[in-house]
Amino acid sequence: MSFGDRIKILRGGETQAEFASRIGISQRALGNYERNERTPDVDFAALVCSKTGASAAWLLLGKEDSAASQNPQPTSSQNESGPHCGIVLVPKVQARLSAGGGSLEANGDPVGSYAFRSDWLIRKGQASSMVLMDVVGDSMAPAIEDGDMVLIDQSQTGVVPGAIYAVGVEGGVYVKRVDLLPGVLVLNSINPSYSAIEVPLRGDLADTVRVIGRVIWWCREAK
């Protein structure tokens, strides 16, 4: 059963126009999803789940018992905890971010995915812009160790001083605690063995600096 087939199950006896209106999208977009001519993202899945009560795991993957989803009950758009619609899968990319002296070591192609609660992701940021990457280097130790996996929201590029970001500078990519000074972006390490990196925001180097996204979570395997 395809994603489009599962959307049709959720629509039930409603017309496309009625269901599209309830979900908050155009009838044309709904038709594209039902014909599998448009690839769903996690934001659209979360929207459908919040409106129908379906499980995201079933909607996106077809891996749950669909019995409950075949007769979904209309729900309020959100409660205090946000839409409770199961899990979404966040892609892990092959690129390894250097937290030491580093570089972007791979091309960023997805190599897998990890499941997160959709309501938690929505509270943290824009789920469809999130990726997971491994970190190389110990400049952020002991908070973020060599080999840890970080969750980055690429929609959050406005710097909040003191927050941790993935930042590209020339050919290198760094995970750092970022501060702003007049005309300067300061990349701070937690490990005292590493000095701060000050990047001018004016001049030739300014064009080589890019805030990739905010690090909102990280984890490590037990050793």
Query: What pLDDT, in 10s, does the model give residues 9-65?
Result: 888 778 899 889 988 999 999 999 999 999 888 888 888 888 887 777 788 887 644
Segment among 59-68, 122-131, 145-154 with least mean pLDDT: 59-68
Q: Which pTM does this prediction carry? A: 0.60
Residue 73 in any domain: the answer is no
Cα separation, 151 vs 145, whole angstroms = 14
Rounded distance, CA 96 to CA 138, Å?
13
Whether residue 13 sits in one domain with residue 103: no
Do both 203 and 96 map to the same domain? yes
Q: What is the DSSP letter of 222?
A: -
SS3 state at 165: strand
Phi, psi of 208 (to 5 degrees): -100, 0
CATH code for the domain of 132: 2.10.109.10
Domain count for the chain, please give it: 2
What is d(CA 155, CA 162) in angstroms, rounded to the nearest whole number? Answer: 18
182: number of Cβ within 10 Å: 5
Q: Are residues 103 and 177 in the same domain?
A: yes
Residues 135, 37, single domain; the answer is no
The overall average pLDDT reported for the chain is 79
Residue holding tokens 């929207």? 47
Residues 165 and 99 reside in one and the same domain: yes
pLDDT confidence bin for 83, thresholds 50/70/90: very low
What pLDDT does 110 receive?
A: 65
Q: Where residue 41 sits, what CATH number does that domain have?
A: 1.10.260.40
Higher pLDDT: 117 or 134? It is: 134
| Domain assignment present for 141 | yes
- 37: tokens are 């001519």
Find the domain containing 193 and state its range: 92-109+125-219
Please give the distance of CA 192 from its chain centroid, rounded to a whole number: 30
